[in-house]
Amino acid sequence: MPLIFVPMSQLLWARVAALLCTCTAFSAAAHGGSLPSHVITDWCIFCWAFGFAFTLLVLLAEAFGFQARVPVSWNNFPITVASYSAHLCLAASILFPLTFLRGQTNNMSSEVKGHRVASTVFSCLATLAYVLEVSLTKARPGEVAGYMATAPGLLKVCQTTVACVIFIYVSSPVTYDSHPALEWCMAVYCICFILSMAVVLMCVGGCTGYLPVPLPKFLSVYALLAVAMYLTATILWPVFQFSKANRNRNRNSRTDLIVVAVLTAVNFLLYLADLAYSARLVFVSVI
């Protein structure tokens, strides 16, 4: 078998560091963290496992030269993986210690505490490694790059990740079934998530040519629609969740409701920025 030479670049080091950190994070949590059955447990393990699995796939594909045989657009796939992994690990780095370390250190053994702290630390390190990878591979002015390497593409990743965190907080327990306006907010989260994820998958799969309209026009119209929908959710969610009728009902989940209100506003700003980018000519060629 011929030897495979892999140049030791900054990008390679960043991916190897991310691979090791995500592996350590979920191994420490699963092996000695004594984590309860909880939606945050499943979410954090998923975040670390996602980063590890797809980073390993990218490393193996590039090491063995399989990029042309993988049925995806390699101009979009690696940076999409890195960007999603960065956001997921960041979310895990925040939610994991808030859920499993804050206020619980006196009630757990030193071994369990050590494993949970290790998971948090390595999750933060993995986030930094993925941020470095994204910064090394994102599009620069004048470069020919895939859509996911541009600012609008990276914004799509942010939008869908924030929506995933919103889904966690509104579904455990369910907090959107007390008024039709809140059900509309949930519909906004779902519709915009599905459409943004569809754009990501079409770009990664190289299927944008199947759209009945040019991609830039589709993205501009969709961004405008998403801004309008999220504007209504940004207003309606806090108005109806914190009304007198719901105040006592949601006393125990008040913090979760505030988190959802903040994340809704964040996603509104992300879609607004997306609209600003989509409404003008992109400074790079989109593949």
Higher pLDDT, 253 or 52: 52
pLDDT at 5 over 50: no
**CA atoms of 216 and 225, how far apart (whole Å):** 14
pLDDT confidence of residue 3 = 39
Put residue 65 in one of left, alpha, beta given phi > 0 → left and psi -120 to 50 → alpha. left
What is the DSSP code (8-state) at residue 102?
T
Computed over every residue of the chain, the mean pLDDT equals 85
End-to-end Cα spacing for the chain = 35
* pLDDT tens digits, one per residue of 181-192: 999 999 999 999
* pLDDT tens digits, one per residue of 195-252: 999 999 999 988 877 788 888 888 888 999 999 999 999 999 999 888 755 655 555 4
Give the angle subtended at the CA of 269 by the CAs of 143 and 133, to the nearest 5°: 40
* pLDDT tens digits, one per residue of 125-166: 999 999 999 998 887 766 667 888 888 899 999 999 999 999
Put residue 38 in one of left, alpha, beta given phi > 0 → left and psi -120 to 50 → alpha. beta
pLDDT confidence of residue 285 = 42
pLDDT confidence of residue 108 = 74
pLDDT confidence of residue 209 = 77
Average pLDDT on 69-96 reads 91
pTM: 0.87
- What are the structure tokens assigned to 142, written together? 């004048």
With cut-offs at 50, 70 and 90, classify the pLDDT of residue 283. very low
Burial of 62 (0-12, 13-18, 19+ CB in 10 A): middle
**CA atoms of 225 and 217, how far apart (whole Å):** 12
**CA atoms of 152 and 255, how far apart (whole Å):** 31
pLDDT at 287 over 70: no
Higher pLDDT, 184 or 72: 184
Report the Cα 176 to chain-centroid distance in Å: 22
What is the chain's Cα-based Rg? 21
